Structure 1
């Protein structure tokens, strides 16, 4: 076909349909099965048929997005990322329906997943790794694609995972803690949101592994769960450091950076306790600049959301390309580059 423009007949041949079916799709008259429509649009764009390059699919596909509410700054950033990605990819005619979940209520999450059956064409989810949730997702994934985001549930039947290598992120956090505490080492408090969130569990594993390998003078004094409640994270710092004043560092994996800093200030420990955490939200950027946070690892949630949208679009036939797990990179921030 070199030297000439593609025609509807070329698209029909490439998509394995009739010219009349191609005509219906390109002229937006409907009546074509979604899988055929996706095949035709993909072929038309691949062949660069001018009239199809910006054509929206006729049928709106609905995708459920299950994340925590905006009270968790990381999940607020994820939601902003979905909003932006939906605008950037408006031509895909995908509608993203955000549902806020309570990570401390797995029965309600499982019920929410099950309610989406028959209502949506796919699901993107960030939630704990809990048996009832896993069963509900496997049932959904038997009929519609599931993408896990930011924290993986590999046994839930998902088609792909988009997010960081959390074990590696935990190793980086451990190395940062070791560099900050120096040869003297010391006792460290770990604060997870929920240890049944796979990503946080993997961060802890990576953190412990690098300490054993490279920083044996650092001891994990305790691991506490905030239950994804930022205020509770602050209370845990008051409680644990009050009981164990020898703690020299805090590795914090979830919501509540400001309450942690406020607790350290109440204890008169803000300048001397090394605080390492994740996610460069605006309040954490300010705390870094104040040197209340020593180091931070950011996994770029807005980028993760966009990549999840594009992965789901490929699964639903709205974008070309192979579907695969996408391990996103992360960045290290210190007070001088925050």
Structure 2
């Protein structure tokens, strides 16, 4: 809906008796230009002023009830989830579950998108963080332990975009929280179980990790070797 301010007229002057922008401005104690910005959803108006203008518009029956509810509705919370691309079934399932959950988040006014990033390219991940930071209120990411990624997260934090690390954390970064396992404990558990299976005999053990660029894999290796050694 596009509204044009009409500062000269009032409801009494209107042939239909319908309230005009000047009536809303007078009732809300603001200028007609401010009313125009609010009704056309343009930025630059404080939240308290927006609510006052919309309240006046509703009381004067300027907006239909449905349009008033739509105008009063808060902007959706925009979230992005960045996961590594590849054939890892758990990661793919996690991304799919985020997509399938959209309808459950709708009543809470939350919108979420998922993007799969080249697994071991920190510069591509940093670029994706900055790209999503321009249109997201928060980002969850399986982080690579790399200065380029850390710098991107620091920039987003300075801009007020919250970043949460998933599965693999990012050291010395202003991320809000980490969601995942205690990876050193997971490595120690694996080492303990291998030791139980091998018993007292001498044996060679192969340790396979996706990439030590992920702090999670590095911590699991450290925990494993701590027990085996």
Q: By how many angstroms is 1:121 displaced?
A: 1.1
**Which position in structure 2 is the counterpart of 1:283?**
none
**Which position in structure 1 is the counterpart of 2:222?**
205
**Which position in structure 2 is the counterpart of 1:81?**
97
Q: Deviations over 1:102-131 (max 9, x none)?
A: 122211111111112321111000021111
**Which position in structure 2 is the counterpart of 1:29?**
69
Where do 1:205-284 residues align within 5 Å?
205-212=222-229
SS at match of 2:95: helix
Q: Which moved more, 1:137-146 or 1:88-97?
A: 88-97
Q: By how many angstroms is 1:84 displaced?
A: 4.1
Higher strand proportion: 1
**Which position in structure 2 is the counterpart of 1:69?**
85
SS at match of 1:184: coil
Q: 8 Å contact 1:178–1:185 — kept in the other structure?
A: no
Q: How many residues align?
A: 168
Aligned mates of 1:130, 1:157 — CA distance in 2: 14
Q: By how many angstroms is 1:155 displaced?
A: 2.1
Aligned equivalent of 2:135, options 101, 119, 123: 119
Task: Tell which structure's C-alpha radius of gyration is larger.
Answer: 2
Higher relative contact order (CA 8 A, sep 6+): 1
Aligned mates of 1:154, 1:92 — CA distance in 2: 32
**Which position in structure 2 is the counterpart of 1:141?**
157
Q: By how many angstroms is 1:210 displaced?
A: 1.5
SS at match of 1:135: helix
Task: Name the CA shift for 1:78/1:167 in 2 (closer, same or farther; >3 Å).
Answer: same
**Which position in structure 2 is the counterpart of 1:93?**
109
Is residue 172 from structure 1 mapped to residue 189 from structure 2 by the alignment? yes
Q: 8 Å contact 1:103–1:127 — kept in the other structure?
A: no
**Which ranges in structure 2 are unaligned for 5 or more consecutive residues?**
1-47, 56-65
Q: 8 Å contact 2:188–2:223 — kept in the other structure?
A: yes
**Which ranges in structure 1 are unaligned for 5 or more consecutive residues?**
1-16, 33-56, 213-338
Where do 1:150-189 residues align within 5 Å?
150-189=167-206
Q: By how many angstroms is 1:146 displaced?
A: 0.7
Poorly superposed stretches of 4+, deviation over 4 Å: none
Q: 8 Å contact 2:169–2:216 — kept in the other structure?
A: yes
Q: Deviations over 1:287-314 (max 9, x none)?
A: xxxxxxxxxxxxxxxxxxxxxxxxxxxx
**Which position in structure 1 is the counterpart of 2:210?**
193
SS at match of 2:143: coil
Q: 8 Å contact 1:149–1:163 — kept in the other structure?
A: yes
Q: 8 Å contact 2:133–2:139 — kept in the other structure?
A: no
Give the TM-score normalised by the residue count of structure 1.
0.46
Where do 1:258-337 residues align within 5 Å?
none
Q: Which moved more, 1:79-88 or 1:139-148?
A: 79-88
Give the TM-score normalised by the residue count of structure 2.
0.66
